[in-house]
């Protein structure tokens, strides 16, 4: 079992839809949870960052962390064609290693 599991999709939605992306993980030592967005032929770009459990909102994006279920989510409201990209979840333990552990990424297409 991989430490971080993410459905690779692809996911196709119409413009304006609410998008839900999620990851599960197996290692309870993860304390930092991130969502990165990656456009084709580009490096990942940090979208959301959450420490421990709870919700965080930034504009059209909401990140949720449920540590009891080892489940994290990213919601995109009023999705736009410019949101079409691969979304990667990433996690890090507190202390010790500086390594981020990434999911495989979910490829999202928002159709106009």
Provide the binding-site residues for other proteins, judged by CB under 8 A: 4, 6, 8, 32, 34, 36, 41-46, 49, 88, 90, 92, 97-105
Q: Would you say 24 or 92 has its CB closer to other proteins?
A: 92
Min dist CB 112 to other proteins, Å, is 26
Q: Round to whole Å and give the CA distance between 63 and 49.
A: 8
Q: Would you say 65 or 88 has its CB closer to other proteins?
A: 88
Q: Would you say 14 or 43 has its CB closer to other proteins?
A: 43
Burial class (CB in 10 A: 0-12, 13-18, 19+), 9: middle
Q: Round to whole Å and give the CA distance between 71 and 90.
A: 12
Helix (H, G, I), strand (E, B) or coil at 26: coil
Min dist CB 92 to other proteins, Å, is 6
Q: Would you say 42 or 77 has its CB closer to other proteins?
A: 42
Is residue 47 a contact partner of residue 56, using CB atoms and an 8 Å limit? no
Min dist CB 15 to other proteins, Å, is 26
Helix (H, G, I), strand (E, B) or coil at 82: helix
Min dist CB 67 to other proteins, Å, is 16
Q: Round to whole Å and give the CA distance between 79 and 35.
A: 16
């Amino acid at each position: 079992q991989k430490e971080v599991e993410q459905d690779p999709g692809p996911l196709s939605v119409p413009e304006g839809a609410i998008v839900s992306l999620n990851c599960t993980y197996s290692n309870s030592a993860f304390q930092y949870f991130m969502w990165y967005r990656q456009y084709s032929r580009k490096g990942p770009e940090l979208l959301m960052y959450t420490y421990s459990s709870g919700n965080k909102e930034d504009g059209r994006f909401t990140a949720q962390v449920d540590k009891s279920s080892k489940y994290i989510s990213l919601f995109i409201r009023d999705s736009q064609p410019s949101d079409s990209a691969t979304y990667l979840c990433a996690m890090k333990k507190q202390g010790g290693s500086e390594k981020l552990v990434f999911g495989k990424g979910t490829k999202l297409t928002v159709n106009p």
